[in-house]
Amino acid sequence: MTQIRVYDTPRRQKVDFEPLEPGKVRMYSCGPTVWDYAHIGNFRAFLFPDVLKRYLQYAGFEVEHVMNLTDVDDRIVNQVNERGTDIDTYVQTYIDGFFDDLDRLGIQRADRYPRATEHVGEMVELIERLVEQGAAYERGGSVYFAIQSFASYGQFAHLDLTGMQDGVRIDSDKYDKEHVRDFVLWKAWTEADGNVSWPSPFGRGRPGWHLECSCMSMKYLGNTFDIHTGGVDLIFPHHQNEIAQSEASTHQPFVRYWMHNEFVNIDGTGMSKSEGNNVRLQDIGDDETIQSYRYLVVTSHYRTILNFTDEALNAARSARRRLNRFAERLAAAADDPGAVAASDGTGGWSQRVQTAERDFRIALDDDLNTPRAMAAVFGLVGEAEKSLSAEDLVPVDARAILSFFEAADGVLGFLAERDAANLETSVELTPEQRQRLDQRQAAREQKDWARSDELRDQLAAEGIVVTDGPDGQQWSMG
């Protein structure tokens, strides 16, 4: 077992990872704003913590994972008032859509998905603490965080704040480095808010976005927790502001390791032209395509920009098909009653599996290097495929390989549900099988029914069912 190292955003380098409590990791991930359906690029910020969590569990940790649902923001408020509905009714469609998409992508559920609107009372308390500490002040019914009161403000995002004016305020949740200002914690009600508001000692209003994550992460994970994830777009101002709010109220370190995933670049695909940047998961294709998208994302290193192209998706699809076909063959070889019952295997497989396992683990210990981990998997797959084709893989070896293969799948999630209907389209025929299908086709054209039946029986013995329909000969895995 090697030391786990992760890239920590503020320190700009890989550092040794040690959780606060031995054996247990507490992790928070910024979740979706449920004002609309998520688009495919958003899912990288949900797939990354999924793999990180599965890997930490594989490495022996217990993981407590919390992801917020932002169910109040400017866009939601506008929609709710325009449609004359209420927040709960409006966001439910998108919350349901979000969880459906997580399931389609094989993303394991977090332990909790707290909603902002269910924590407004606690957010008000946090604001009151910040005001008491002199870190926040009220103006016209709104409350702002005084960034000059927080000496290290800007350090996290490596901002140069010299020459910045004191007491200049910004009300919007999203802004860039050119607009570093005192940011809003509580927004006073305006007419545009319509029916959306909550009471507070400062008057009616609603919480700012940055405050939600400070409040809910500390409530469920403690004042100091281990890992906070999010997309690189959240480093500033969102995460900088979370740190300021949390540490100014508790005077304790907020997060031990900040991990940020890069973007998905979908420019240059036919899809981006027709759909803008709002491609939904269901727009990219069937379940297999969506699983291939998962494969593409999780096998790319999380800190590199991912170019989503048709070619990349197709490559992911065939890699995934190969892995699934391999798992099927391996499972068959593992419980082949006709195979030689060698007691401890042959061909040095136990050593080879151990080497692959070690390389897989070392790659992931090194800042979740999933492409290198997959290289370790494929190294073993390539060797084992040869052995399977030569029919010299004994069950005990097949089982050892399968056991590693399933552990790797537990981290990355590339295997399809083991049901025949799913695998039908994902099998690859051997050249011999392909040849037999061609010969059978030729035999039928020559009306040589005896030969055609003979070939069909041969294929059936290998688990390939051939049927003749209006479109000619078809095959499937029986």
Three-state secondary-structure class, residue 68:
coil
Q: Which helix (H) or strand (E) holds 102?
A: helix 87-104
Joined together, the tokens standing for residue 185 give: 């914690």
| Helical ranges in 251-394 per DSSP H | 270-275, 287-298, 310-334, 349-365, 370-389
Nearest distance from residue 422's CB to Zn ion, in Å?
36
Q: Which stretch binds Zn ion (CB under 5 A): 40-48, 206-214, 310-318, 422-430?
A: 206-214
Q: Please say whether the beta carbons of 4 and 17 come within 8 A.
A: yes
What's the closest the beta carbon of residue 213 comes to Zn ion, in angstroms?
A: 3
Under rule CB under 5 A, residue 363 binds Zn ion = no
Task: Give me 300's structure tokens.
Answer: 């790319």
Task: Classify the C-alpha dihedral 45-46-50-56 as positive or negative.
Answer: positive
Question: By the 8 A CB rule, do 65 and 27 touch?
Answer: yes
Nearer to Zn ion, 183 or 404 (CB): 183
CA 266 to chain centre: 17
What residues from 232 to 251 belong to the interface with Zn ion (CB under 5 A)?
none
Q: Which of 67, 80, 107, 213 binds Zn ion (CB under 5 A)?
A: 213
Structure tokens at 377: 């998997």
Residue 130 near residue 211 (C-beta atoms within 8 A):
no
Nearest to 367 by CA among 292, 258, 255, 232: 258
Nearer to Zn ion, 196 or 213 (CB): 213
Total residues at interface with Zn ion (CB under 5 A): 2
- Mark residues 279-318: x for contact with Zn ion by CB under 5 A, - for none: ----------------------------------------
Segment interacting with Zn ion (CB under 5 A) among 23-31, 168-176, 422-430, 458-466 = 23-31
Tell me the window of 170-178, 208-216, 336-344, 398-406 that interacts with Zn ion (CB under 5 A). Answer: 208-216
**In the window 395-414, what residues touch Zn ion (CB under 5 A)?**
none
- Which region among 24-32, 142-150, 167-175, 246-254 touches Zn ion (by CB under 5 A)? 24-32
Stretch that binds Zn ion, among 22-30, 42-50, 392-400, 467-475 (CB under 5 A): 22-30
**Please, which residue, 74 or 328, has the CB nearer to Zn ion?**
74
In the complex, what is the shortest distance from the CB of residue 238 to Zn ion, in angstroms, rounded to a whole number?
6
Count Cβ atoms below 10 Å from residue 305 Cβ, excluding itself: 10
Distance CA 266, CA 292 (A): 15
Residue closer to Zn ion by CB (options 213, 284) is 213
Q: How far is the CB of 473 from Zn ion (least distance, A)?
A: 56
Pick one of 30, 127, 184, 330: the residue that binds Zn ion (CB under 5 A).
Answer: 30
Q: For residues 213 and 243, which CB has a smaller minimum distance to Zn ion in the complex?
A: 213
Coil, strand, or helix at residue 445? Answer: helix
Containing 65, the helix (H) or strand (E) segment is strand 62-67
Q: Which stretch binds Zn ion (CB under 5 A): 212-220, 278-286, 388-396, 409-417?
A: 212-220
Q: Is the Cβ–Cβ distance between 6 and 368 less than 8 Å?
A: yes
Buried b (16+ CB within 10 A) or exposed e, 348-378: ebeebbeebbebbbebbbbbbbbeebbebbb
Toward Zn ion, which CB reaches closer, 213 or 373? Answer: 213
- Determine the straight-line distance between the first and last CA of the chain, rounded to whole angstroms: 42
Which span (10-18, 110-118, 168-176, 213-221) binds Zn ion, by CB under 5 A?
213-221
Q: Give counts: helices (H), strands (E), the chain.
A: 15, 15
d(CA 237, CA 261): 16
Least separation in angstroms between CB 393 and Zn ion: 49
Report 252-271 residues binding Zn ion (CB under 5 A): none
Residue number, 213 or 363, with CB nearest to Zn ion: 213
Residue closer to Zn ion (CB basis): 64 or 357? 64
Length of the chain: 478
> What is the closest distance, in whole angstroms, from the C-beta atom of residue 236 to Zn ion in the complex?
12
CB closer to Zn ion, 228 vs 352: 228
Q: Residues of 222-257 as b/e, b for ≥16 C-beta within 10 angstroms?
A: eebbbbbbbbeebbbbbbbbbbbbbbbbbeeebbbb
Q: Which is nearer to Zn ion, 213 or 244 (CB)?
A: 213
Shortest Å, Cβ 435 to Zn ion: 57
Contact between residue 466 and residue 475 where contact means Cβ atoms under 8 Å apart: yes
Q: Which is nearer to Zn ion, 173 or 365 (CB)?
A: 173
Question: Nearest distance from residue 212's CB to Zn ion, in Å?
Answer: 7
Q: Which stretch binds Zn ion (CB under 5 A): 27-35, 280-288, 346-354, 421-429?
A: 27-35
For Zn ion, give the closer residue by CB, 49 or 345: 49
CB of 306 to Zn ion, least distance (A): 22
* Binding stretches for Zn ion (CB under 5 A): 30, 213
